[in-house]
């Protein structure tokens, strides 16, 4: 019998080249950082159980779950709206996995592990919003898309979950983007093309925040 | 054309897919062949107010029921289709 071992790899392992990209001789306007090795569980209320899920999840996470396109920060997880009566639980270090969440939430909800089904990219920098405006049709102006705002939307015909995290220490806005793993390479190249004229700093990180 | 998704807000047409007429109602079991034929195949080509199903596949993946004027593309109402989003329809 053959022996198998599963090695999890980033879907951007080959596409992502850390360092500088695009315009040189200017301060990079866009910073693209892939976040690796996260736990991502999608929680969807069973029919008629949305209120029960909200109650149970509130007890579990200590915060009210998002019931509109927003993100809610719990102590050790980020809850991201992904559609009506459903949300993602994003965390690190095995705190919120299928094993730990299912016993608590599987009564009122169905859970599915998306940890290796999505790539997570953090987009920031002085020209981040300008770059995203080339690709996204939604309004990302601070007044329309403040910190904590989220959207299930499409970029370059690809479904993404986009949300605004806390600002960087230098005050720059931070956009987080979850994309299906198999589309990650394509969207990555699209974003690099859109950002090249502003100068790009490319990196990957293990840190969520 | 833009559609205001009741869950996501205003979005471009490219995020949505058109399914078709929302008016036909599945005939009861034992309905006549003519009634079933009408339900499956016959559609009105309305110049004016229509009721349609659209799918927000590029967004929250919810089915919507939309009242649209085919002459002006004006959309007069958007609501979640039955069973979509307990928060809005209590299903
Ligand atoms: Zn929607």
B38 touches chain A (CB under 8 A): no
Nearest CA in chain B to A67: B87
Q: Mark yes or no for CB contact B61/A137 under 8 Å.
A: no
**Does A5 score more than 90 pLDDT?**
no
Q: In what order do the strands lie in the sheet with A174-180?
A: A19-21, A200-205, A30-35, A118-124, A174-180, A158-164, A150-155
- Tell me the mean pLDDT in the region B27-54: 94
Q: What is the CA radius of gyration of chain A?
A: 18
Model ipTM value:
0.90
Give me the pLDDT at residue B83, please: 64
More confident residue, A48 or B86: A48
Going from N- to C-terminal start, the domains of chain A cover 19-36+116-205, 39-113
Nearest CA in chain B to A70: B8
**Does B79 score more than 50 pLDDT?**
yes
Place of tokens 């939307």: A153
pTM, 2 dp: 0.92
Residue in B8, B20, B22 with CA at minimum distance from that of residue B58:
B8
Q: B55 - beta bridge partners?
A: B17, B63
Task: Give A85's contacts in chain B (Cβ within 8 Å).
Answer: 85-87
Name the CATH topology of B2-21+34-80: Folate-binding fold (3.30.2270)
**Alpha carbon separation from A129 to A76, A123, B51, B65 (Å, rounded):** 28, 9, 37, 33
Q: Tell me the DSSP string of A116-151.
A: TTEEEEEEESTTHHHHHHHH--S--STTTS-TTBEE
More confident residue, B1 or B8: B8
A66 touches chain B (CB under 8 A): no
Task: Report d(CA A58, CA A74) in Å as an integer.
Answer: 10
- Tell me the mean pLDDT in the region A45-70: 95
Task: Report d(CA B74, CA B91) in Å as an integer.
Answer: 28
Give me the pLDDT at residue B90, please: 42
- Closest Cβ–Cβ partner in B7, B15, B80 for A154: B15
The architecture of the domain spanning A39-113 is 2-Layer Sandwich (3.30)
A116: confidence class by pLDDT, cuts 50, 70, 90: very high
Task: Give B84's contacts in chain A (Cβ within 8 Å).
Answer: 84
What are the pLDDT digits (tens) for A136-178? 999 999 999 999 999 999 999 999 999 999 999 999 999 999 9
Q: What percent of chain A has pLDDT over 70?
A: 100
Going from N- to C-terminal start, the domains of chain B cover 2-21+34-80
- Closest Cβ–Cβ partner in A48, A69, A159 for B8: A69
Residue B63's SS3 state is strand
Task: Report d(CA B51, CA B68) in Å as an integer.
Answer: 6
Q: Mark yes or no for CB contact A48/B91 under 8 Å.
A: yes
Q: Which of residues 127-166 of A touch B (CB under 8 A)?
A: 137-138, 151-154, 157, 159
What are the pLDDT digits (tens) for A17-57? 999 999 999 899 999 999 999 999 999 999 889 999 999 99
Task: Report d(CA A98, CA A42) in Å as an integer.
Answer: 10
Residue in A93, A75, A81 with CA at minimum distance from that of residue A36:
A93
B15 touches chain A (CB under 8 A): yes
What average pLDDT does the structure give for chain A?
A: 96
Alpha-carbon distance B30 to nearest alpha carbon in chain A (angstroms): 30
Non-local (6+) Cβ contacts of A162 within 8 A are A136, A138, A150, A151, A153, A155, A175, A176, A177, A178
Given a contact cutoff of 8 angstroms between Cβ atoms, the answer to whether A39 and A92 are in contact is yes
Place of tokens 């029919």: A47
Task: Report d(CA A156, CA B66) in Å as an integer.
Answer: 25
For the domain spanning A19-36+116-205, the CATH number is: 3.30.1360.120
Residue in A47, A78, A49, A74 with CA at minimum distance from that of residue A63:
A74
Give me the pLDDT at residue B87, please: 44
Task: Report d(CA B76, CA B3) in Å as an integer.
Answer: 10
Q: Mark yes or no for CB contact A151/B8 under 8 Å.
A: yes
Residue in A180, A197, A63, A31 with CA at minimum distance from that of residue A117:
A180
User: For A171, how many CA atoms within 13 A lie in the half-sphere containing its CB?
Assistant: 0
Q: Residue B78 has which token pair?
A: 């958007």
Give me the pLDDT at residue A7, please: 83
- Tell me the mean pLDDT in the region A74-92: 96
């Amino acid at each position: 019998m053959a022996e198998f071992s599963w090695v999890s790899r980033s879907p951007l392992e080959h596409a992502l080249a850390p360092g500088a990209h695009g315009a040189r001789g200017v301060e990079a306007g866009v910073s693209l950082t892939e976040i690796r090795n996260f736990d991502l569980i999608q929680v969807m209320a069973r029919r008629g159980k949305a209120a029960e899920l909200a109650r149970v999840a509130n007890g579990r996470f200590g915060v009210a779950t998002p019931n509109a396109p927003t993100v809610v920060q719990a102590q050790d997880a980020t809850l991201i709206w992904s559609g009506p009566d459903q949300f993602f639980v994003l965390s690190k270090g095995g705190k919120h996995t299928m094993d730990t969440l299912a016993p608590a939430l599987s009564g009122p909800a169905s859970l599915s592990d998306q940890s290796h089904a999505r790539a997570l990219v953090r987009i920031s920098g002085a020209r981040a919003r300008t770059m995203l405006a080339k690709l996204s049709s939604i309004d990302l102006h601070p007044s329309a898309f403040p910190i904590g705002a989220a959207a299930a939307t499409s970029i370059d015909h690809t479904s993404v979950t986009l949300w605004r995290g806390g600002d960087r220490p230098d005050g720059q806005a931070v956009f987080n983007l979850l994309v299906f793993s198999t589309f990650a390479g394509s969207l990555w190249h699209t974003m690099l093309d859109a950002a090249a004229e502003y100068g790009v700093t490319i990196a990957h990180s293990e840190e969520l925040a | 054309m833009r559609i205001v998704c009741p869950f996501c807000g205003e979005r471009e047409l490219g995020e949505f897919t058109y399914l078709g007429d929302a008016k036909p109602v599945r005939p009861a079991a034992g309905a006549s062949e003519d009634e079933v034929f009408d339900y499956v195949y016959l559609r009105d080509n309305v110049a004016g107010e229509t009721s349609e199903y659209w799918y927000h596949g590029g967004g929250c993946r919810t089915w919507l029921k939309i009242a649209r004027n085919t002459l002006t593309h004006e959309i007069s109402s958007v609501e979640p289709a039955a069973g979509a989003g307990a928060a809005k329809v209590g299903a």
